[in-house]
Structure 1
Amino acid sequence: MQIRVWMGAISDRGRRTEAAAMSEQAEHGAAHRQKNTPGWTVTARPMIDVAGRILCLVLGAALLVAGLVGLFTGATEGELLIVLAAGLLLLVMPSIVDRLVKLRAGQFEVELIRQIAVNARKTAEALRRLGLADQLDAYATIYTELRDPELKGIRGEVLDRIVQRVSNAAAVEKFDKAEVRELFLNGSPIVRVLALGLMQGDLSLVDGDVLQEAIDRSLTGNEQYHALKVVRDGWGRLSDTQRNQLVNAIKTNARIERGPARREVAKEILGLGVSPRIP
């Protein structure tokens, strides 16, 4: 009788152990399934991506149509340019995003501040101190990758953003004139324009030889444009000899005529003559 009780107790314990094991296994399986089940944010991401692309294309096309209609309704040139630029940007935005995703996957990035530090350590430190390092690196990366001919206008806008950022920085931080000169003479195309942006923000950095080089042998049309702006804005800081040389360079440079914006600034400079008057 006692043996029978022991056997029953052992059997009950075994059943309880088996039941506990089965319960634990079920809980583990449920947890495993829950862990492997993607969240709603993951499953919704492709749909959001497609919807965003469609929205960009629809809005971009609508703005371009509105801009074309504006040509015949008396809209101002400035308004038309804004509408058309916004429409074009929205149309190409999906391709830009795709390029940036590929860049992120490939871990490619233009380290603009590191390039600057090679020839201008104090300038690089000042830009880092002002919190511009990541912004300038990001802009430079985007500019470098937008190689398609239809993206030329956007490349110019990105480069203008870089110039604007460093120009604002030069208005609040003192940069070394010798370093800015070295930046231009030894830098990449982006760095050369960046140096001109520093001069725009602080006219005490203006260097006649740099401006002569930027007009005569500019690497890009954008560089020549910003050099002309520095010449115009810093006219009173140039010597008579430098003004004469720059006027002759502008008159004999055929590339200036290829860009309406460059042509307009050059016209303003020639209107100053050799007068030391500050505009």
Structure 2
Amino acid sequence: MSDTNEGLSASGRHAPQPFSQPQMPPQAPGPRGPVARRSSWLDQAPRTLDVAARAVCLLAGVGLLVTGLVGLFSDVDEGVLALVLGIGVLLLITPSIIDRIRSTRLGQFEVQLVRQVAASARRAANSLQRLGLGRELDAYATIYTELRGPELKNVRAMVLDRIIERVAGAAVVEKFDQDEVKAMFREGTPIVRVLALGLMEGDPSLIDGEILLEAVSRPLTGNEQYHALRLVRDEWNRLSPAEHAALRSAIDASPHLKDGSARGDVARQIRALHG
């Protein structure tokens, strides 16, 4: 309640007021003409660009899928064909993935990959953040988690390869602690285990024979075994004769390393190595 006595008579009652027309509050002059039209366009621009980007994704995705299907009936390299089909599928589902990420960004869905790394390797996580990879890796990991189903297996592999590529690049310019990398593998989630292998790819001095043997013989995912096999093949000369023998035995005993698969091809290359 107001404490002022304005408008009261000596008796305490409201004094009669002369009749007057109600006064409208002053209106601030608004933009007119080209300025108003420009403001309206700027307000609509983000939505317009979003719709345009979705249309481009869908059209490009359909075009790549059609190209891939045509390639099935022509003499086209299978690797190129799989890449074209995979990118086409990814472009088609990208709008729906982005919608889910936006709708749950403040909820439980967003994958905090660097935070998972920090659970077992705080300094490694800080290094990734300092190199500006935190949000990028989290975004890739969120998309990777969303790509479910056997028909998206190749697309998932491409997204994970991108994550590994970025982590390996970080290990080239930043020195990571070997004990932390081993802890990432032994204590981390399946995707963090693969990240540890990615750091070894970028800096071979981080390689540990026991880690590679575990990743080859008891992998949590096929991607983990694949990247471990690549490390074994590429850094064969860094490993001891005893590690060579143990890894060859693990490769021979693995039921997943059949000829024709990507992992099987790398395993065959390892068997052909000397030492």
TM-score tier by shorter-chain length is 0.7 to 0.9
Query: What's 1:247 paired with?
Result: 248
Q: How many residues align?
A: 252
Greater shift after overlay, 247-256 or 61-70? 61-70
Q: 2: distance between equivalents of 1:72 and 1:211?
A: 40
Task: State which drifts further: 74-83 or 177-186.
Answer: 74-83
Map 1:27-66 onto structure 2 (within 5 A).
Answer: 27=27, 39-40=40-41, 49=50, 52-66=53-67
Residue 141 (1) aligns with residue 142 (2): yes
Q: Residue type of the partner of 1:200? A: E
Mapped to 2, the partners of 1:65 and 1:124 lie a distance apart of: 42
1:111 CA drift (Å): 2.1
**AA paired with 1:144?**
T
Task: Please say if residues 87 and 155 of structure 2, whose CA atoms lie closer than 8 Å, have aligned partners that are also in contact.
Answer: no
Instruction: Tell me the distance in 2 between the aligned counterparts of 1:125 and 1:245.
Output: 35
Task: Report matched runs for 1:63-102 at 5 Å.
Answer: 63-102=64-103
- Residue of structure 1 in register with 2:6 after alignment: none
Distance 1:83 1:142, change over 3 A: closer
How far does residue 141 in structure 1 lie from its aligned partner after superposition?
2.2
Aligned residue in 2 for 1:231: 232
User: Which residue number in structure 2 is paired with residue 184 of structure 1?
Assistant: 185
CA shift in 2, pair 1:101/1:76, >3 Å = same
Distance 1:150 1:47, change over 3 A: farther
- The one-letter code of the counterpart of 1:111 is Q
Counterparts of 2:44 and 2:170, CA distance in 1? 43
TM-score (norm 1): 0.79
Give the ranges of 4+ consecutive aligned residues of structure 1 lying more than 6 Å apart after TM superposition: 28-31
Structure 2 contact 101–110 (Cα < 8 Å) conserved = no
Partner of 2:35: none
Letter in 2 for 1:134: R
* Whole-angstrom CA distance in 1 between matches of 2:150 and 2:43: 35
Q: Does 1:162 align with 2:183?
A: no
Where 1:218 maps in the other structure, the secondary structure is: coil
Instruction: Encode CA deviations 1:205-264: one digit per residue, 9 max, x unaligned.
Output: 111110111111111100000000111111111111110000010011011228711111
Superposition deviation, residue 110 in structure 1: 2.2
Shift of the 52–167 alpha-carbon distance from structure 1 to 2, 3 Å rule, reads: closer
Over the aligned positions, Cα root-mean-square deviation in angstroms equals: 3.0
Q: State the distance in 2 between where 1:131 and 1:45 align.
A: 26
State the SS of the aligned residue for 1:104: coil
Equivalent residue, structure 2, for 1:199: 200
Relative to its length, the structure with more helix (as a share) is 1
Secondary structure at the aligned position of 1:131 is classed as coil
SS in 2 for 1:272: coil
Deviation of 1:113 (Å):
1.9
How big is the shift at 1:29? 11
**1:83-131 CA distances to partner (integer Å, 9 max, x unpaired)?**
2222222222222222222222536422222222222222122222222
TM-score (norm 2): 0.80
C-alpha deviations, 1:138-175, integer Å up to 9, x for none? 22222223334433332222211111111111112211
Question: Who is 1:104 aligned against?
Answer: 105
Residues 64 and 85 of structure 2 are in contact (CA less than 8 Å); yes or no, is this contact kept in structure 1? Answer: yes
Structure 1 residues 142, 259: CA separation in 2 closer, same or farther (over 3 Å shift)?
A: farther
Q: Percent identity?
A: 53
2:257 match: secondary structure: helix
CA deviation after TM superposition for structure 1 residue 200, in Å: 0.7
**2:220 maps to what in 1?**
219
SS of residue in 1 equivalent to 2:243: helix
Moved more, 90-99 or 241-250: 90-99
Amino acid at match of 1:239: S
TM-superposed CA distance for 1:61, in Å, is 2.0
Which residue identity does 2:59 align to in structure 1?
V
